[in-house]
Amino acid sequence: MSTWLNRQAFRPDVTVAVFFAVVALFFYGSILWTFYMSLTRSTLIPNYQIVGLDQYVKLFTNQRWLVSCLNMVVFGVLYILGTLAFGILLAVLADRNIKAESLFRTIFLYPLAVSLIITGLSWRWLLDPTTGLQALMRDIGWESFTFDWLTRSDRAIYTLVIASIWHSAGLVMVIVLAGLRGIDNDLWKAIRMEGIPLWRAYCQVIFPGMRPVIASCVVLLMSEVIRGYDLIIAMTKGGPGISTEMPAKFAVDFYFARVNLGLASAASIMMLVLSLIMLAPYFYSEFRRRT
Amino acid sequence: MNQQRLSGAISLLGLLAMSSPAFAQTVDVQQYWTSASESKAMNAIADAFKAHGGKWIDSPSADFDSTIAAATSRIAGGEPPSAVLMTPSAAMRDLASSGQLRNLDDLAAANGWQKAMVPIVWNKLTVDGHLVGLPVGIHADNWVWYSKSAFEKAGIEEPKTLDDMFAAADKLKASGSIPFAVGGEPWQEVYVLTSMIISLGGPEYWNDLFVKRDPEALKSPILPKAFELFRKVGTYTDPASAGRSWNETTNLVTTGKAGMQFMGDWARGEFLAAGQTAGKEFGCFLVPTEKPAYAVVVDIFAFPVNKDEDRVKGQTLLAETVMDPAVEAKIAAVKGSVPSRLDVDTSTLDMCAVKGVKALATPGVAVSSTYDALPGDLNGQMTDLATQFWTDPSMSVETAVKGLADILQSK
């Protein structure tokens, strides 16, 4: 009996099966239900009569949705490139055997410990032209100083980029730094013997070898882009006008405030499709390397 | 012996279990009245409710939208609140027609509530012939609030026509005040647009456009003109308007920094909370129109279906408390609304409230606000359109009118 128990004590297949059942039910089940809802004309309460792709047609003639998608692309590209650039730069600097490295590492990683709501509120106060940076500069005598991007509908999206780069650059720094620490010392010796300038060594030798590390960073940042919601709520509430709306906020607003379950479900399904499209190049390259 | 003790204990437990629901009358109120004047009004209801022996559980949300969101999730999750503060909107009609709201016909019949209410309010609150909500107070959207001190500084009087109003704005600008205080939130911006529409078109055009959604009304020259004036108001606002809440914006008028604000009459509550008196420190007028118009929006309590007996009793007690003329008068006095019962004593109300009571009592003046009149999310779509037009100067009037026509003709 006891030997039988011992043999049964750890059954990886059972553990995994339970886990997969939970995921299948709550995750894929919810996706299926959302897809079903997107084919109906449900408003506040689910309505199970299928009307076809009406909601998708409505979605893609809705100006606010189109602006949201465009914003996500603009925000996503700038945020990912900016965060990578800053994070890698910080990592390279930290890798040059500076003094008090762990202190700087903590300082730059710290923003990640701050919630996005707090990040958004702080940056809103900082960038609000009547109370923040602009007011401060004017108060100390620089009368013509103007930085009112937060209240301009054509610039507000960039303030979101600034705030989120501040938030995530530290994460990229730590991941890339860990990658840099993994570089073989012999490689550095070879670089030094060949007399290759430092910038070329990084750009042409070190980083190309760190592709998987950087790809993981990109995937992590992409998930931030797609689910971007709290920062927008805290910082701009989608405004001025609809200039900083994002798909996730569109879906939440239409689920609850606008009580349009059908349209919100269609938006959610489109978000899923969008994220699959965005992740496709990564999966493709991973797959190709394996085979 | 043991058996006796056991049965004694059981009967004692039984008594305890029975006694609690017999006395408790609990309400769990999902609400969003959080500004100074609003919370005073909610306290007026809560205090009266508690005075009758009820137990009040407060479930506040930050704003209207999150209240509806929270209430819907709670209803869907099987733990409905016992009362929701909302408006008689598409959401209320959806909830009612799916049987989620308590039918109040019996209470209305017993207390004669239909006779006590203005017909337009009664009609808004009935779905398929059943009463599903109770009015807490009546507001109207199309008011303008002004600061007497700012007007004195600019040397102007209360404007009588739309042209007067813009002339007044010019003088206010010249005297160094903000002419129009507008909070840069989509719902506040769309109020300016609808105020312009009602001002140019009057109650009949309003009904054609928003209630009947007549295609002819969409071709009227009133719409392009309204969008032009809407944009013109934008040129009179201050740079800090983006994202400002309505009560912070009202505060600009209260302190005399701004001249006028387009806002529903809940703004009056903020003036009163600041210790000001109508006609002395602040004034009010309905947006100038040829024929008087009053775009009514009603605050209501809807009562989601509950099963526990103490909660059902709590609902009944809350319903009777809300409809109590004395409580109605108190809400109106602190919040700026007009009482929703016709038999409430209006002698103590100030001049702005009296204007409202008079407008409500005159036939053909009261119309339904867009929030209640438009089905589904059409009002939301119009809000999106208005805020785009407001913030994007490159959007043409023709595009905006066409956009509005598409929205009003959909479904």
- List the structure tokens of B120: 């337009």
| Residue A96: exposure state from Cβ atoms within 10 A (0-12, 13-18, ≥19) | exposed
Which chain B residue's Cα is nearest to A148? B239
Contact A65/B at CB under 8 A? no
> Which residues of chain A neighbour B184 with C-beta distances below 8 Å?
151, 239-240
In B, minimum Cα distance to A132 occurs at B240
Contact B111, B136 (CB under 8 A): no
Say what the pLDDT of residue B3 is: 55
Q: Does A140 touch chain B (CB under 8 A)?
A: no
Encode pLDDT of A73-96 as tens digits: 999 999 999 999 999 999 988 888
Which pLDDT belongs to residue B23? Answer: 55
- Residue B354 pLDDT: 87
| B67-73: Cβ within 8 A, 24+ apart | B67/B30, B67/B31, B67/B32, B68/A256, B68/A257, B68/A259, B69/A255, B69/A256, B69/A257, B70/B30, B71/B30, B71/B304, B72/A44, B72/A256, B72/A259, B73/A256
Topology alike, domains B24-138+298-358 and B143-296+365-409: yes
B window 93-122, beta carbon within 8 A of A: 94-95, 98, 100
- CA-CA distances (angstroms) from residue A230 to A81, A173, B184? 21, 23, 20
d(CA A88, CA B124): 61
Any idea where the domains of chain B sit in the sequence? 24-138+298-358, 143-296+365-409
Q: How far apart are the C-alpha atoms of B60 and B85, rounded to whole Å? A: 10
Distance (Å, whole) CA B169 – CA B287: 14
Q: Residue B114: how many CB atoms within 10 A of its CB?
A: 14
So what's the pLDDT on residue B314? 92
Task: Read off the tokens for B367.
Answer: 């119309």
Question: Closest Cα partner for A260 from A40, A65, A60?
Answer: A40
Say if residue A2's pLDDT is above 80: no
Q: Which residues of A touch B380 (CB under 8 A)?
A: 257-258
3-state SS, A190-223, equals HHHHHCCCHHHHHHHHHHHHHHHHHHHHHHHHHH
Residue A257 has its nearest CB partner, among B68, B94, B95, at B68
* Amino acid identity for residue B328 in this structure: E
CB atoms within 10 A of CB A170: 23
- Contact A263/B184, CB-based, under 8 Å? no
State the Cα–Cα distance between residues A127 and A135, nearest whole angstrom. Answer: 9
pLDDT tens column, A155-189: 899 999 999 999 999 999 999 999 988 888 888 88
List of chain B residues whose C-beta atoms are within 8 Å of the C-beta of residue A253:
65
Band (A205; pLDDT cuts 50, 70, 90): confident
Question: In chain A, which residues have their Cβ closer than 8 Å to the Cβ of B87?
Answer: none
pLDDT score, position A11: 73
Average pLDDT over residues A43-63: 88
How many of the other CB atoms lie within 10 Å of CB of B15?
Answer: 9
| Window A:160-219, CB contacts with B under 8 Å | none
pLDDT recorded at residue B167 = 95
CB neighbours of B190 closer than 8 A, spacing ≥ 6?
B370, B382, B383, B386, B387
Cis peptide before B88 (omega within 30 of 0): no
Nearest to A259 among B66, B94, B403 (CB): B94
Chain A neighbors of B95, CB-CB under 8 A? 44-45
Q: Which residues neighbour B43 within 8 Å (Cβ) at sequence distance 6 or greater?
A: none
Q: For chain B, say whether A63 makes contact (Cβ under 8 Å).
A: yes
CA A170, CA A90: separation in Å to the nearest integer? 8
* Res A78: pLDDT: 96
CB contact under 8 A, A153 and B391: yes
Q: What is the pLDDT along chain B (411 residues), one digit of tens a residue?
A: 455 555 555 554 444 444 444 457 899 999 999 888 889 999 999 999 999 988 999 999 988 888 988 898 899 888 999 999 999 988 898 889 888 999 999 999 999 999 888 888 898 899 999 999 999 989 999 999 999 999 999 999 999 999 999 999 999 999 999 999 999 889 999 999 999 999 999 999 999 999 999 999 999 999 999 999 999 999 999 888 888 888 899 999 999 999 999 999 889 888 988 999 999 999 999 999 988 999 998 999 999 999 888 999 999 999 999 999 889 888 888 887 888 888 887 777 888 888 888 888 888 898 999 988 888 788 989 999 999 999 888 999 999 999 999 999 886
Say whether B392 and A241 touch across the interface (CB within 8 A): yes
Domain B143-296+365-409 fold: D-Maltodextrin-Binding Protein; domain 2 (3.40.190)
Task: Kindly write down the DSSP assignment for every residue of A230-268, as one continuous string.
Answer: HHHHHHTTT-STTTT--HHHHHHHHHTTS--HHHHHHHH
CA distance linking residue A67 with residue A88, whole number of Å? 31
pLDDT of residue A287 exceeding 80: no
For B391, which of A150, A241, A257 is closest by C-beta distance? A241
Q: What is the mean pLDDT of residues A208-229?
A: 87
Interior CA angle at A12 toward A8 and A14, to 5°?
Answer: 75
Cα distance from B34 to chain A (closest Cα, Å)? 18
Q: What is the DSSP string of B182-203?
A: --BSHHHHHHHHHHHHHHHHHH
Q: What does A71-101 look like in DSSP terms, one character per residue?
A: HHHHHHHHHHHHHHHHHHHHHHHHHTT-TTH
Q: Which of A67-76, A122-131, B149-158 has the lowest mean pLDDT?
A: A122-131
Out of A128, A241, A256, name the one closest to residue B69 (CB).
A256
- CB < 8 Å from B in window 7-46 of A: 43-45
CATH of B24-138+298-358, one of 3.40.50.620, 3.40.190.10, 3.90.550.10, 3.40.190.80: 3.40.190.10
How high is the pLDDT of residue B7? 53
